[in-house]
Structure 1
Amino acid sequence: MSFMIKEKSHREEPHIINEERKLASSTSALGILREKLVENLGIQRIDSFLFHYGYEMGVHDAKEAKKTDKTIEELIIEGPKLHMKSGHIQGFEHKCQVEYDGDQLKSVTGKGTWIGSYEAYEHKKRLGIADTPVCYTLLGYSSGFMSTIFERELIARELTCTGAGHAECRWVIRLKEEWEQDAHEDIYNQHSSPIVQELEYTYDQLFDQTNLVTKLSTFQNLLTKEIVDGSDLQTLTNRAYEIIKRPLIIDDLKLDPLSFAGISEERIKVIDAESKQKLPGHVVKNRKRYAVPFRKKIMELDGYLRCIVPVMVENEIYGYCSLLIKEQKEQQTKEEFLFLEHFANAVALILLNEKTRFDSYERMKGNFFEQVLENKSSTSELLNKAKYIGFNLNKPFYIAVVEYVNDVDSIEEEFAFNEHIMEATFQFFNKERLAVLSTLRETNVILYLPDLTERQIENVLNKYLQHLSEEFPQTYVKIGLSQNGEGIVEIKDRYHEATIALRLAIKKAIVSYETLGIVGLLLNTRHLDEFHVMAKKELKEIYQLKEEKRAELLKTLYYFLENGGNLERTKDDLALSMSGLRHRIQRLEELLDRDLRKPSEAHSLFLLLKALVVLEELALT
């Protein structure tokens, strides 16, 4: 069986002619609209949007109501009734007081409560409890309705709101100028722009953001190209300044400029001097010993705002990038920091590249120096290799041995600390423009220092010692210096001299082998083992004591003999009381059966004790 259904068309003529149609809409639909507005405009801007939406509804209803012959008093109460009929509220309480000065409206004060606000309910349901009242549409409706009735601008303000967790939605409405007189002009300004302006504002914001992203992308591409092309810091700074048109500065850890653009050198000195006074003391200290002081910072200087960010290389601070502006706008400052952080990252990459190349070259030199010290290759081969790294090992030179002591808790920390010491050493001699060879042996840095006079070597080592003290303030450092040598064949002997001088650097941070005189010559013989045997024989009675007591008496004996028998200085060196020191000296003379104040006895014993120090059997520091 088959059949066919014919399609029929039907046309229904509209029942409402020349009247406005009414659309039914659930509160849920309006709640969804509110949620989507928050997603697209943001919670900060929906108040104005919804206020004007309600305002236009209130204006429309008021115009319709004014077509009737109702009085002002009747129209005032008509507004909340129409509002309730729309379903926006379920009930209301309303009081209004109106004052006239003759025929002129003087004051309007309306107060009331909205019962069952759909707006508060939907906001809580979809967006949660708000921080402030949220009945924006109701406020707009009341403001638009009353403004149209009185033909004067009235603004409603919500005092409490169930959408913000309060017990009820209470409101008050007044003339715009009355709010302004009470310093509440923000109530009007917040809702003063129409919806189209809100949309224009949103568009402008998106347009500005698009421009910013485009400009940032161009800026980043330019910086990347400069890095790939191998540009130095000054070239990078110049190119960055061409884009952002703001003075830029790259400073080292001590806020001394490395490069700058868009500002004079004289002005830089003034700005950096002022900045050093305003920054916390730990900011300019050693990057390895202190945590990052800040991720970004704004300093108010004379005539400038200085936006500053640290330059991070391998999780350590290597300097600071700054951008200078004259005007202070929060949004503008945020954008400046975006450019500045991109710039700082590019600077970090250049510094990392430079650091990698520099460290690789220095370590290659260090490996070569280690071969020289160990004498693993022939002299001619070593001299040839030296030429490739720009050294002539047949020139006069000094050898310095640097010892440092620092408390570390693990092997990993010790390794990292050794790396930092070597890096600080590389940087110091590079800054001083001195070509040296350096290598690390346990906790000693060995330095080959060519082409320096006696006065120059003393000055250089004092500055180097000060540099290490500033970089590592908790570290004890001392230096032993050899005699002046000449030629590669003398390097090993000069190293031995520097080691002896280092061992005898007890009261002074820097000791030269030449200052040891005959003692140095005697201890530099190849018969140190014989000194050891002789010391054990001469000091036999002390060596038979327990280790702790033996070390205590040997240390006392050393300082007593070094001070020429002066009890006062010896007491200070040992941090002992005078009675305690006298007791020890008496005990020593009994054990050794010698008069320690007799020069001949004292000199021989002192030489033996120095031999023990060189042999590292007697520790005095």
Structure 2
Amino acid sequence: MMVEESLQLQNELLNKLVQGGGLKELVDSAAHFVQREVVIANTSNRVLESTFSEGFSQGEFFAVLPLQPPVPGRVQLQAGEKKAEALVVELSHDAKRLGFLFICDPGADEDNRLKVLIHQARNVFVLELQKKAELLENSRNYQDAFLFDLLYGNIEDNADIIARGKLWGWDLSLPHVVTAFELEDYESYSQDHYLVTTLHDIIQSVAQSLDKTVILMEKNEEVVLALPVEARKRRDFKAYLNMIINQVLAQAEERLAPRVIRVGVGRRYEQPSELFRSYQEAKVAVKLSALLKDKGPIVYFRELGVERILYSHDKQELLEFYREILAKLEAQDKQKNELIETLENYLVYHCDLKATADALFLHPNSLRYRLKRIEEILDLDLEDFDTRVSLVIAFKIKHLIHSKERL
């Protein structure tokens, strides 16, 4: 009886496909047949189609939680306050995961029947998702080829860029800013690409909720966001961009923890042919956010100081400069490291004796003695402006190179 019923469901779903029905028609038909609510989600647990009138609506993210105690094949779905117990089956083809099918509120006595039905229906849903994935991939291939050329400076004609951008609804006549979101410790040969896809979906969801048409590109460990800058003050736009980034990071922490997302923001450029500069700056800012932990997870390239120059400079030349300035002091201070620490704090506190002494819990006279010793060892005058600049750069090189070596 169950075999006949499952074949009947499969035939009904195949007829829907033959008649030109899409995912919505398949979901409605399956739900009517099994007399249960049905949800289809992508690999990020974002609803593609659903028969729920409230909750689990199209485009919404939801959590998939194990039941307590665990029940094979059953999970709990949660979107805000809305919860539902569900049977779940993965929708995949050729080892490529396409999404998930959920039959909600299956009841206590119908597991076997519904499992037979859901597995029979699975093949039809896989066909439809595979078709949608192929169409999306073909569209993205054209889109990504254009974005690759745009973000790597391969197109110089602004009119051509603006015209091609209109094909995807992008107004590239407006100034844009590029933001790079990077998954830290990304591994190519792992499931990390699913995490990057989830990050892409989160950014897309946040942008859609703000009614924004943005440029989005998923690329290895990063998702690139290019946001149009309308006529507003720089400070206002930064607050607006921070709001978007913080919404993304809050959702990423909820969905991707314990993995870390780092964010770099390039500068604004008026012409689309210069957008590649903003992208390169965003990538440098991301890398520096990982190296300079005190900067936090969001780094604006325009707010970086000498670090952005040092980052792209020859490492050997930087090392030679650093050793030329600080090597003698490090050699003298090898055991206690107190002179190096004193000098760095003195520079951090803008050469303010009182602030430095307070920070180091030193008497001002003790601090003066140490600074005198430092001047003697380095044969430098700490009151000289150029000397202070050189010392600040030397310390920045030290932290930058040591951070790179740890990564």
Structure 2 residue matching 1:447: 3-state secondary structure: strand
Structure 2 residue matching 1:353: 3-state secondary structure: helix
- Contact 2:156 2:273 (C-alpha < 8 Å) held by counterparts: no
The 1:237–1:447 alpha-carbon spacing in structure 2 relative to 1, beyond 3 Å, is closer
Q: Match of 1:382?
A: 161
For 1:496 and 1:223, locate their aligned partners in 2 and report how far apart those are by CA, in whole Å. Answer: 48
Structure 2 residue matching 1:412: 3-state secondary structure: coil
Q: State the Cα distance separating 1:482 from its structure 2 match.
A: 1.9
The 1:391–1:590 alpha-carbon spacing in structure 2 relative to 1, beyond 3 Å, is farther
| Consecutive aligned runs of 4 or more in structure 1 exceeding 6 Å deviation | 252-256, 275-278, 543-546, 555-559, 565-571, 584-591, 595-600, 611-617
Q: State the Cα distance separating 1:219 from its structure 2 match.
A: 0.8
For 2:343 and 2:194, locate their aligned partners in 1 and report how far apart those are by CA, in whole Å. Answer: 35
Equivalent of 2:219 in 430, 440, 445: 440
The 1:542–1:614 alpha-carbon spacing in structure 2 relative to 1, beyond 3 Å, is closer
Q: State the Cα distance separating 1:324 from its structure 2 match.
A: 3.3
For 2:116 and 2:43, locate their aligned partners in 1 and report how far apart those are by CA, in whole Å. Answer: 22
Residue 241 (1) aligns with residue 18 (2): no
Q: TM-score under structure 2 normalisation?
A: 0.66
Q: State the Cα distance separating 1:600 from its structure 2 match.
A: 6.4
Residue 265 (1) aligns with residue 54 (2): yes
Q: Match of 1:322?
A: 103
Q: Match of 2:275?
A: 491
The 1:591–1:422 alpha-carbon spacing in structure 2 relative to 1, beyond 3 Å, is farther
- Contact 2:325 2:394 (C-alpha < 8 Å) held by counterparts: no
For 1:569 and 1:333, locate their aligned partners in 2 and report how far apart those are by CA, in whole Å. Answer: 69
Q: How does 1:69-108 map to 2 (within 5 A)?
A: none
- Contact 1:220 1:342 (C-alpha < 8 Å) held by counterparts: yes
Q: Match of 2:170?
A: 391
- Contact 1:536 1:543 (C-alpha < 8 Å) held by counterparts: no
- Report the identity percentage: 16
The 1:437–1:246 alpha-carbon spacing in structure 2 relative to 1, beyond 3 Å, is closer
The 1:598–1:369 alpha-carbon spacing in structure 2 relative to 1, beyond 3 Å, is same
For 2:128 and 2:219, locate their aligned partners in 1 and report how far apart those are by CA, in whole Å. Answer: 27
**Structure 1 counterpart of 2:88, which letter?**
V
Q: State the Cα distance separating 1:352 from its structure 2 match.
A: 3.8
**Structure 1 counterpart of 2:181, which letter?**
V
Q: TM-score under structure 1 normalisation?
A: 0.46
Q: How does 1:55-204 map to 2 (within 5 A)?
A: none
The 1:495–1:334 alpha-carbon spacing in structure 2 relative to 1, beyond 3 Å, is closer
**Structure 1 counterpart of 2:165, which letter?**
A
- Contact 1:251 1:258 (C-alpha < 8 Å) held by counterparts: yes
Q: How does 1:554-565 map to 2 (within 5 A)?
A: 560=345, 561-562=347-348
**Structure 2 counterpart of 1:536, which letter?**
E
For 2:269 and 2:148, locate their aligned partners in 1 and report how far apart those are by CA, in whole Å. Answer: 18
Q: Match of 2:234?
A: none
Q: Match of 1:357?
A: 135
For 1:472 and 1:404, locate their aligned partners in 2 and report how far apart those are by CA, in whole Å. Answer: 10
The 1:337–1:446 alpha-carbon spacing in structure 2 relative to 1, beyond 3 Å, is closer
Equivalent of 1:478 in 262, 265, 281: 262
The 1:420–1:258 alpha-carbon spacing in structure 2 relative to 1, beyond 3 Å, is closer
For 2:205 and 2:27, locate their aligned partners in 1 and report how far apart those are by CA, in whole Å. Answer: 21
For 1:556 and 1:480, locate their aligned partners in 2 and report how far apart those are by CA, in whole Å. Answer: 30
For 1:223 and 1:607, locate their aligned partners in 2 and report how far apart those are by CA, in whole Å. Answer: 68
Q: Match of 1:401?
A: 180
For 2:120 and 2:344, locate their aligned partners in 1 and report how far apart those are by CA, in whole Å. Answer: 60
The 1:535–1:305 alpha-carbon spacing in structure 2 relative to 1, beyond 3 Å, is closer
String of CA shifts for 1:311-346, please: whole Å, max 9, x gaps.
Answer: 3334648345124356x54xx432122113333444
Q: How does 1:202-601 map to 2 (within 5 A)?
A: 209=1, 212-227=2-17, 231-250=21-40, 259-261=49-51, 264-265=53-54, 279=67, 296-297=73-74, 306-313=85-92, 314=95, 316=97, 318-324=99-105, 328-329=108-109, 332-379=110-157, 380-406=159-185, 408=187, 412-413=189-190, 417=192, 419-432=193-206, 433=208, 434-438=213-217, 440=219, 443-451=221-229, 453-505=237-289, 506=292, 507=294, 508-516=296-304, 519=305, 536-537=320-321, 539-540=323-324, 542=326, 560=345, 561-562=347-348, 592-594=378-380, 601=387
String of CA shifts for 1:126-147, please: whole Å, max 9, x gaps.
Answer: xxxxxxxxxxxxxxxxxxxxxx
Give the number of the structure with larger relative contact order, counting CA–CA contacts within 8 Å between residues 6 or more apart.
2
Gaps of 5+ in 1: 1-208, 270-274, 282-292, 572-583
| Bigger radius of gyration among the two | 1
Residue 606 (1) aligns with residue 392 (2): yes
The 1:531–1:342 alpha-carbon spacing in structure 2 relative to 1, beyond 3 Å, is closer
Q: State the Cα distance separating 1:461 from its structure 2 match.
A: 1.6
Q: Match of 2:363?
A: none
**Structure 1 counterpart of 2:264, which letter?**
G
For 1:345 and 1:570, locate their aligned partners in 2 and report how far apart those are by CA, in whole Å. Answer: 67
Structure 2 residue matching 1:265: 3-state secondary structure: coil
Q: State the Cα distance separating 1:481 from its structure 2 match.
A: 0.9
**What is the root-mean-square deviation of aligned Cα atoms in Å?**
5.0
String of CA shifts for 1:134-190, please: whole Å, max 9, x gaps.
Answer: xxxxxxxxxxxxxxxxxxxxxxxxxxxxxxxxxxxxxxxxxxxxxxxxxxxxxxxxx
